[in-house]
Structures are given as structure tokens and as C-alpha cells.
A and B are shown apart, each in its own frame.
Chain A
């Protein structure tokens, strides 16, 4: 389905922030904002929900910890409890200090890598992915706000000019 969107370009992040607040105050739905760098506080101004990626990371860390414990308990204690240099391999707890470096690293490894992969999946990023960039200048020095358009084009254009936009385009968007 193709839908019409209005795109307002700004050349200053402060102006953009004010514009976002104003458009939100007028109860228009902002579909997307493209910026060349993270604008501090933009997510709050747009009313986006907090990320839950830290929670996933914590769970992945717990998983890594469990994997390392189960793995070493099986290998070192259950499967073949050899006497290696006098280390007590009767129970897991007895030899635990020797396993802690691996437990720690596995926790960090799982927490970090699975969180990054989660991030890629959720933000739909992968090699050979077609870039979704409405205007090449947004990767350099321009900021772009995109609003879905009904039959209120005139009113919206006026509002956006008022917020200090340097350029306004109305385009069809594939989605």
C-alpha cells in the first residue's frame, strides 16, 4: 500500500526538538525522524517507549552463566573427574574457584553478543539490507521529520513552515 507522507527538513537539532514538541502538541502522529547523530532527548520528546534491551541482556547473561556451569560440571565433575594437579574434582563447589573465570566470561559473552544480535533483529539491520533513507542529506547535516498525511496537507504544511523547516516535500511512500 502506498501512502502519502509529508517530510520536513531542518538544519538544527534544537529547531527539530521544538518542532517535534509542537507537532506532538497539535496531535499529529510523527512516523519517523531521521537524524545524522543521536539527538539527546529526542526519544522523550517523541514519546517513544523505553528500550527493554537491558532486560534481554540480563536474561542472556543468566543463560550464559547456566551454560558454563552445566558444561563444566558435566566435563570436569560428572563425565571424567580426573585428578589434575591435585585439584579436588569431587563436587562442583569444591573446584568452583577454578571455574569462575570461565563462568564470568561466558556470562559476559552471552550477554553481549546475544544482546547485539537482538538489537540487529529488532532494528532490522543486516548486510545487503537496502538503506531506508528518504534524503541523503539526513546522514550528513540535515534532520528530517516524517508525518503521515491525510487530507490535511495545507494545514500541516503551514504548521511545519512555522516550526522553522527549511524544506517541505510531500511524497508517496511504499510500505
Chain B
């Protein structure tokens, strides 16, 4: 049995508290009137060299922020309103990116876990309890994401423009999509997705624990069937979830590849977290039967799915760039102009770094190498979510500042607390999984 180390517990509470404070600061600093918004932008550009805007300077030589005067010249009311909404969205978007990122990790792990069960993999049963613990975060994480979606529907923010009846009334395109993109149906779908995922997670966990106590393999077989069924459900709902929760932030834009792209992002983050948690537990002496070959396999998955993510990222980008159809290409123009650094840093962190670091077979067995690659991959995929959400919600008013870091800290702390708390609930090694002996002796 795992005992939650006090240091980690206190650390996670501190992270949550700090994160809450940062997020609250973000909400308090958001402007409530057009005048305040204009002042904020003017202040940010006037003393861009000092004060609290050091982070802006660190964004380098981007010219996107430079033409401050362009804002000053020709104001009209709608421009100001737009700016106000962007600034008001910033803490919300920071909250949403953090909430979605950690939720997505748990969901990616759930998919990986179901694949391992459905494929009857012989190497991974030793890690099932770690995966089950990480997927436990689906419940609080999913509920938080759902609450944010409900608050968006209740017009607490302007993240999803199609939720604004007034906007839709003046927008032919949004009217055309209203059959799918309407608040009620949106929430019903979200509830079905979350309900299905959490249902599978709970039933699989229950069967997994029951298998330990039983004297036949009935629970194992049942779990196999549920997992295979879940994968079908998951592939459909995950795709729709990505349209609903992320693509609909840019409701004029669409991409067929988007569901897989989001899937690749969550899958690789999830596998990375499995590897990192396993290495941590092993270093504390809790997973004595997990050997370097298990870590090697996880690192191979990290390497391969990183490349898979890049393949989808590039396929989506290149097709749109090549054809250059105005209604599609605006998505990337916004990112190229205002998000140059995060956009390209993400490719370096999610592709070039893991490609070079994890290519060597020996390095995949060196635990600190895997941890280091894992940290970069996770930061890269945070940036990925950031790049998906921010351009549509805050536009060129983005920073990685107090609210964004607050979002990472709060949800990171909650994630760590929830995952490691669940780890204490069951023995870390399944007792009588039919493949447990194969997994124990697994050697590559």
C-alpha cells in the first residue's frame, strides 16, 4: 500500500492555495467597463519596459504588440467592446486552459488504459493501478470543466461567442450552425460525454479491484469487454468533445482533423504522466516490480505519440496553408501574427525535443532522461491547449502571467492531490491479473 508522503500533500495544498490566489487576482484585475479596458491597454503599452509587464518584454521582438498607437488612432465603440471582452475573458480562459489541460491528461490515460486492457497487453498490468489512480481525476476535473461550461452558457464570460443570442442574430453562419451549437444541446452532450467516461472509469476500477479478490477470471473478461466498448464510445465522443469544447471557440472555423489532433495531444500527455508517476513511485520504493523495460516501453510510446501529434499538427496546418482558403486560413493567421513564440515553441517542445532526446534506446531507460523529456512534453502540450483556446478568447491580449500560472498551479495541485490520494486506496500491484506474471518478468 502506498502512503501519501506529507511533503507531497502539503506541496499540493500550497500549489492549490497559490493557484487560487493567482486566479482570484486575475478575476479581480479584469476590467468591468470599456474605459478601464482602454486604460489597461494604454498602460501596458506606455510603460511596457517596467512594472508588472516584464513578461511582455520577454515575449521578445514580436511586433504584434508594438503597434500600440494603432489602437490609439481610430477607435470605434465596437472595437472597444471587443477589447473589453478579450480582457474580461483572460482569467476565464486561463482557468479553462488549466482545467482542460489536467482533465485531458486524465482522459488520455483512461484511453491508454482501455487500449491496454482491450489489447491484452502483457507488459502493462504492473502499471494498471497507477493508471487507475490518474484517471480518478476525471471526476473532479470533469465536474470543474462542466461547471465552467455551464457558467459560460449563463453568460458569465464571452469565451464562446455562439452562446450570445445577440451575436447569433447578426451572424448567418452561426445561425446555420445553431442546430448543433445551441446551449441546451451543448450541455446535454457534455453531460453524456462526461457521464460515459466516468461510468467506464468507475466500473473498470471496480472490476479491476474485484479481480484481485475473486478466484476466477470473470471480472477480467468483463473488464476486457467494457474496455473494448468504451474505446468505440470514446473515439466518437472525444471527437465531438473537441468540436464542442475547443473548436467551437472559433465557431466560424472548422477542421476535420481536429478531433484526432486533440486526441494525440491528450494521449501523449497522459502517457507522459503515467511514466512520470511510475518513476516517482519507483524511486520511493513502491513499485519494486516495475523495471527499466516498463519505463522503456512508456518512453517509446511518448516518442511515437509525440511524432504522431506532430504528424497531425502538420497535416492540419499544411493542408490549410497550402490551399489558403480564406475561411479556413484565418485560424492560422491569428496564431502566426499574435502567437508566434508559443506557436513555434510548441512544435520545438513537442516534436524536436522528444525526437532527439528519446530516439536513443539507452536513453529511454535512463529515468531522469524520461522525466526531463516528460516535463518538456507536458509544458509543450500545455502550450498546445493554450494556442487552441487563447487566440479565440483573448486574441492579441494574451500573456503568460498571473492568472495563467495560477491555473496551472491550482489544477496541478488538485491533480497531484487527487491522484496520489487515490493511490493510497488500493495495493499498487494487482494480485491476480492473468498477465501479472508476464508483466512482472517483462524484459525488453
Contacts and interface: CB of A to CB of B under 8 A. Distances in A.
Contact of A100 (B318, B324, B359, B361): B318
Contacts of B361: 54
Interface string B340-366: 000000000000000000010100000
A54 B362 CA distance: 12
A145 B321 CA distance: 61
B343 to A, nearest CB: 13
Interface residues of A, number: 6
A58 B318 contact: no
A150 interface: no
Find the residue from A58, A97, A98 having the highest chain B CB count within 10 A.
A97
B280 interface: no
B321 A97 contact: yes
Given A54-B361, A58-B359, A97 B324 contact: no
A98 B361 CA distance: 32
Contacts of B359: 58
B314 interface: yes
B368 interface: no
Contact of B317 (A54, A86, A97): A97
Contacts of B317: 97
Interface string B290-319: 000000000000000000000000100110
Interface string A75-119: 000000000001000000000011010000000000000000000
Interface in A45-86: 54, 58, 86
Interface string B108-136: 00000000000000000000000000000
Contacts of A58: 359
Q: Chain B interface: which size bin?
A: under 10
A98 B359 CA distance: 26
Contacts of B322: 97-98
A93 B314 CA distance: 15
Interface in B341-397: 359, 361
Interface string B59-98: 0000000000000000000000000000000000000000
Contacts of A86: 324
Contacts of A100: 314, 318
A54 B359 CA distance: 10
Contacts of A98: 318, 322
Nearest to A101: B318
B356 to A, nearest CB: 10
A167 to B, nearest CB: 33
A97 B317 CA distance: 9
B306 to A, nearest CB: 15
Contacts of B324: 86
A157 to B, nearest CB: 35
B236 to A, nearest CB: 30
Contacts of A97: 314, 317-318, 321-322
Contacts of B318: 97-98, 100
A98 B321 CA distance: 9
Interface in B391-427: none
A54 B364 CA distance: 15
Contacts of A54: 361
Interface string A15-55: 00000000000000000000000000000000000000010
Find the residue from B321, B359, B361 having the highest chain A CB count within 10 A.
B321
A86 B322 CA distance: 10
A97 B329 CA distance: 14
Nearest to B311: A104
Interface of A: 54, 58, 86, 97-98, 100
List 8 A-B pairs, minimum CB-CB distance, nearest first. Answer: A97-B318, A97-B321, A98-B322, A100-B314, A100-B318, A97-B322, A97-B317, A86-B324
12 contacts: A54-B361, A58-B359, A86-B324, A97-B314, A97-B317, A97-B318, A97-B321, A97-B322, A98-B318, A98-B322, A100-B314, A100-B318
